[in-house]
Amino acid sequence: MNEPIPTLEAFDEASLDKAFAALEKQARESAAAMDGPEAVEAFRLEWLGRKQGRLNDVSGLWLKAAPPEAKKLLGQRFNALKATVDGLLEQALGAGPSDAALAAEAIDITLPGTQRLTGAEHPITKTLNEIVSVFAGLGFSVGVGPEVETDFYNFESMNFPPGHPARDTQDTLVIANQERRSLRDRLLLRTHTSPVQMRTMEQQPPPVRIVIPGKVHRNDAADATHSPIFHQVEGLCVDTNITFSDLKGTLDHAMKALFGSSVKTRFFPSFFPFTEPSADVQISCIFCGGKGCRKCKNSGWIELLGCGMVDPAVFAFAAEKQPAYDPKKISGFAFGMGVERIAMMKYGVSEIGQFYAGDMRFLSQFV
């Protein structure tokens, strides 16, 4: 119940001022004590309620009882009081919770907000993209292939016949329960990106110039420089009259683009089943400039990737689907490089595991 409106004894200015000041004080006090939407509604009913609101009472009891000469003064004060009450209500509705309610809340809105970290490319992705863009600049297109691969694409078509000892160097995980399938159809986690060479040639006749980045798997024990899962970028170029000097020129340019124009390259005889002749590419040591240091084991050179001229046996597999891969008419070169190895060289990282640990202190250095 509302407090009753006191009876007004006199209608002179001083008495009116006093009576209205007392009401205004009450209104302000109860407005200040409001602590939620229910209190605001109660305040509205108390003061502005049509039948039982206090202003209604004032108008009924005071205004009507006033002698005619006091009506004007009283009316002015009534209007002023109503404006004050309206204002208090408006403020309460617009301002949301009162100061008292806010003070009781546990949230300090002056504290700084939660900051979201800006994402950045992982150093492996960054290096992979950089390698790809060097070759894109030479007119190579970009392709991808499956990570779960058949024995045929991963080994047989790359000229690792069943039982060939070179298979042992690329041991991997094989999908279980495939005994009923023929060996060439059995699935495994690809050990290199080279099978995508064959997938590409089966899809398109020469000329081909393509780089293929991707993830590969090996049954390798993890150590400072080896990881059972890592990334490679494969390259393949096939056309008429592609020679070993095209291969040398292409890779020499790529190494200079990746490591700086003063880097030198040299090609050492090597063996890969899918290339003949094959070579390992070495670059002059980027740490000592070729003088010899701990990183290059005092040789001045660092071995970085494998390459060679596509073996005619590989073209023979491609020709089963695309007869234009006739080794008498076309030739080509291929190469494959490890992305982690290149990233480690470029950024001076000595532990390959750092790339996979997800430690922000390491990763945020590459932003």
Query: Residue 283 CB, nearest distance to ligand DAH (Å)?
Result: 16
Nearest to 196 by CA among 241, 243, 233, 164: 233
Cβ(153)–Cβ(224) under 8 Å?
A: no
**Angle, CA 366 vertex, CA 360 and CA 367 arms, to 5°:** 90
Q: Which is nearer to ligand DAH, 34 or 305 (CB)?
A: 305
Distance set, CA 171 to CA 149, 177, 192 (Å): 14, 18, 11
Q: Tell me if 227 sits within 8 A of 356, measured CB to CB.
A: yes
Six token digits for residue 323: 């007869």
Q: Closest CB to ligand DAH among 123 and 273?
A: 273
Contact call for residues 203 and 212 (beta carbons, < 8 A): no
**Distance separating alpha carbons of residues 140 and 237, to the nearest angstrom:** 8
Cα 2 from chain centroid? 62
Minimal distance in Å, beta carbon 111 to ligand DAH? 53
Closest contact distance (angstroms) between CB of 135 and ligand DAH is 13
Query: Between 286 and 307, whose beta carbon lies closer to ligand DAH?
Result: 307
The single-letter code of the amino acid at 111 is L
Residue 217 CB, shortest distance to ligand DAH, in Å, is: 11
DSSP 272-322: ETTEEEEEEEEEE-TTTTTS--TTTTTSSEEEEEEEEEEPHHHHHHHHTT-
- With respect to ligand DAH, which residue has the nearer C-beta, 31 or 211? 211
The length of the chain is: 367
Long-range Cβ contacts of 267-272 (<8 Å, 24+ apart): 267/307, 268/303, 270/306, 270/308, 271/166, 272/306, 272/308
Q: How far is the CB of 197 from ligand DAH (least distance, A)?
A: 7
Residue 306 C-beta: closest distance to ligand DAH, Å:
3
Q: Which residues contact 327 (CB under 8 A, 6 or more apart)?
A: 312, 315, 316
- Which amino acid appears at position 203 of this protein? Q
Cα gap 176→270, rounded to integer Å = 34
Q: Which is nearer to ligand DAH, 89 or 233 (CB)?
A: 233
Applying CB under 6 A, which residues contact ligand DAH?
A: 192, 194, 234, 272, 275, 306-308, 334-336
Element (H, E) at 165: none
Structure token pair of residue 183: 């060996």
Query: CB of 223: closest distance to ligand DAH in angstroms?
Result: 17
* Closest residue by beta carbon to ligand DAH: 336
**74 or 233: whose CB is closer to ligand DAH?**
233
Give 97 or 228: the residue with its C-beta nearer to ligand DAH.
228
Comparison of 143 and 308: residue with beta carbon closer to ligand DAH = 308
Minimum gap (Å) between residue 192 Cβ and ligand DAH: 3
Question: What is the smallest separation between the CB atom of 180 and ligand DAH, expressed in angstroms?
Answer: 29
Cβ closer to ligand DAH: 81 or 131? Answer: 131
